Chain A
Amino acid sequence: MSTRTILDRYQTSASYLARILLRFSGLLLTVYMLTYIWELSTVIRTSDEPAGTAAAAFNTAMAAYNTTFWHITHAVVVALVVLHALTGLRVLTLEAGFGARFQRASFWLSLVLTVALFVLLFIKIIANLAA
């Protein structure tokens, strides 16, 4: 089923898209969080250094993430956090009985702010790369 067909089935396509994006970003962030906890704990667990002084292991592990691919991935994760937070705040205010009249506008605003943040971070990554 094409995206157009899915959207056509709903009169309020913005609210449907908002719900899908809220869930999709939530699932991705949950997977990221669990991987993050696992990775960080593995770095500490497999270190030869005594507990509380795993400096070398930590630095080696973090240096491996110092690539353009991971910088962009982290920017995507931060953008997903912002998208999930803004669309989540939208749900909280709608449930409380506010902003139903602006529900389309508030969704598009959330999306624009998220994309704007990602573009800024992307420019920053490219600028750091060039420097």
Chain B
Amino acid sequence: MVHRDVISVTSRAQKVKVEPGAGTLLWILQRLSSYGLLLFLPIHLYFTYFTKLDTPALTYNGMRETFSAFPLWYVLNEGLLLICALFHGLNGFRNVIYDWTTNSAVRHTVNFLLIVLGIAGAILGFWTLWALA
């Protein structure tokens, strides 16, 4: 444990026990991925949901039209959306677990499972994007 001055959550600076390197990078990445989601997810939902509300079902050709109408840009949008959504979702789940328990065995197991899930999701996601785009 390292003692650091923490001033952001209290009115007066005080010494608070902080685990070394405890999640500062992940916290920043969670914020950065949220900015990404605010940009990429509305575009994804616009083309896959809101403009397709009147069509009976999403079709392969209907979906391909978006990829050909915005070559490279839409693939880039979907790829970056996949990275941001996977990281934001899985790291958010990690945050819930870390708030729920301080048991390091549980935390390490969850970390391992989430990394595996993230890599598997990225492989399947990018492979699907490559096959569809």
Contact = CB atoms under 8 A, between A and B. Distances in A.
A73 to B, nearest CB: 12
Nearest to B95: A23
Interface residues of B, number: 32
Interface residues of A, number: 33
B13 interface: no
Contact of B59 (A27, A33, A37, A59): A59
Given A26-B89, A44-B132, A63 B57 contact: yes
B41 A81 contact: yes
B57 to A, nearest CB: 4
A5 interface: no
Nearest to B8: A95
Interface in B71-118: 82, 85-86, 89-90, 92-93, 96, 117
Nearest to A31: B89
